[in-house]
Structure 1
């Protein structure tokens, strides 16, 4: 169903809610919050639910106005399908890749079939090799990291195709701020902080530091080709993250990705 099609009022009462995988942005704005995100995310995002519905409606208006929006509706909230309770590492990005076919709803990741991979991701792989000796991959599928509790969260969750930064200050920042605050302030049953390490690459990511409380932070320059040589290369974020997780009694992340997705 095209994003610009409106659901008539009778249909809302006569039909079951459509699947988030089968609707456009405007229709997503009408779905219950717990159908858009994992149940524990729905609880902590409830205070910003009005802002979330507003920004989804805004995206519907963008599509109706003829703009191509990335990522696809089915992926725009993908980061929040991973249960909040599983998060061990937070990697904050800026906004989705504006190149059609690249954005998949996880910061820095692309679809496994995308060739070549973005240069920022290639630099991440270069640092991973230097840090832990894992050979760079030709694909950009980072779902193995997400499956281990690495939250790959962009600060802004959508973009017009070909227009980097075009959806800043449209409402996403309040939503992702609430999410980051929730991640950082979880506690275990004994009242101690839940294990977490935050990786902040670049100035934009650094702006969330006040939301993180006492969370250990690994910060450096962004992996973009414009800045990677100014502090990203040599920062060893992967081994340092694992060391900090071990200090918190939470094991490690297996950062090596499969050769093919």
Structure 2
């Protein structure tokens, strides 16, 4: 199954808006059409958390990522997803969070240590060279859903937006991805990548989806099972078993 093309990265409906304006947009303008349909059951929860972010912003607290990127993971069409890679919450450092788990802005230097460890494992697994930039958009374009469990954070305060409503959204998203069916009623090709305890929490939602799991790539845990786990080659093998195209995991030298 070929991946669907990436949805517009900066849709006219969200570019330049703040969180208060984002919260008032029609649901269909917040994400790709099939995602809007799949997440319609948690629209109230999503609007509630966007209102919370607007209140944070109004109180002078900086929210990361920006309003234009906070729902970026859902701009890629749901029907094109073939790999689900679950993260925790965004990087709390300004300029880092871009709305895709583990990814950072192409100009960020140095890249976060977790991402550097991902690149180290990518080189060990597939022989692909690490990059000086951390833009993982090339993975997203191929149907790799880089989804954090919590989609926002207050600047400088890791984990500060946990328990504010995002968990219901990401739970619904994982359920939607895992529940897709092909025309003949079989499960759509999918592999889930779960790094660390937060990611492992979605395993009960995945049904029969093949899972590649290990420790988190954080410097605190990477040596306890992430290094040497060969997630990228394992994902591609599982995709091939399902009749799907493998992912080209090489990151472009220039994003």
- What SS does the corresponding residue of 1:21 show, helix, strand or coil? coil
Q: How far apart, CA to CA, are the structure 1 residues paired with 2:60 and 2:17?
A: 17
The aligned residue for residue 216 of structure 2 is 222
Please tell me the root mean square deviation across aligned C-alpha atoms, in Å: 0.7
Larger Rg: 1
* Counterpart for residue 164 of structure 1: 158
Once the 2 structures are TM-superposed, how far is the Cα of residue 22 of structure 1 from its aligned partner? 2.2
- Counterpart of 1:91 in structure 2 is 85
For residue 21 of structure 1, the aligned residue among 15, 31, 37 is 15
Q: Distance in 2 between matches of 1:55 and 1:105?
A: 15
Q: Do residues 192 (structure 1) and 194 (structure 2) align?
A: no
Q: 1:119 aligns with which of 93, 107, 113?
A: 113
- Superposition TM-score, scaled by structure 1 size: 0.93
Q: Which has the higher contact order (CA 8 A, sep 6+)?
A: 2
Aligned residue number for residue 252 of structure 2: 258
Cα distance in 1 for partners of 2:87, 2:196 equals 8
* 8 Å contact from structure 2 (residues 86, 193) kept in 1: yes
- Cα separation, 2, equivalents of 1:106 and 1:177: 16
State the shift of 1:144 in Å: 0.5
Partner of 2:202: 208
1:135 match:
129
TM-score in terms of structure 2 length: 0.95
The answer to which structure has the higher helix fraction is 1
Does structure 1 conserve the Cα–Cα contact (< 8 Å) formed by 2:13 and 2:30?
no
Name the counterpart of 1:100. Answer: 94
SS at match of 1:20: coil
Unaligned 5+ runs, structure 2: 1-11
Q: Report how many residues are paired.
A: 244
| Per-residue Cα deviation, 1:24-45 (whole angstroms, up to 9, x for no partner) | 1111111111100100000010
Contact 2:150–2:170 (CA<8 Å) still a contact in 1?
A: yes
Shift of 1:23: 1.1
Aligned to 2:170: 176
**Over residues 57-99 of structure 1, what are the superposed CA-to-partner deviations in whole Å (9 max), with x where a residue is unaligned?**
0000001111000000000000000000000000000000000
1:61 match: 55
CA distance in 2 between counterparts of 1:251 and 1:162 reads 39
Give the match's secondary structure for 1:62: helix
Q: Which 4+ runs in 1 deviate beyond 3 A?
A: none
Q: Which residue of 2 aligns with 1:50?
A: 44
Partner of 2:141: 147
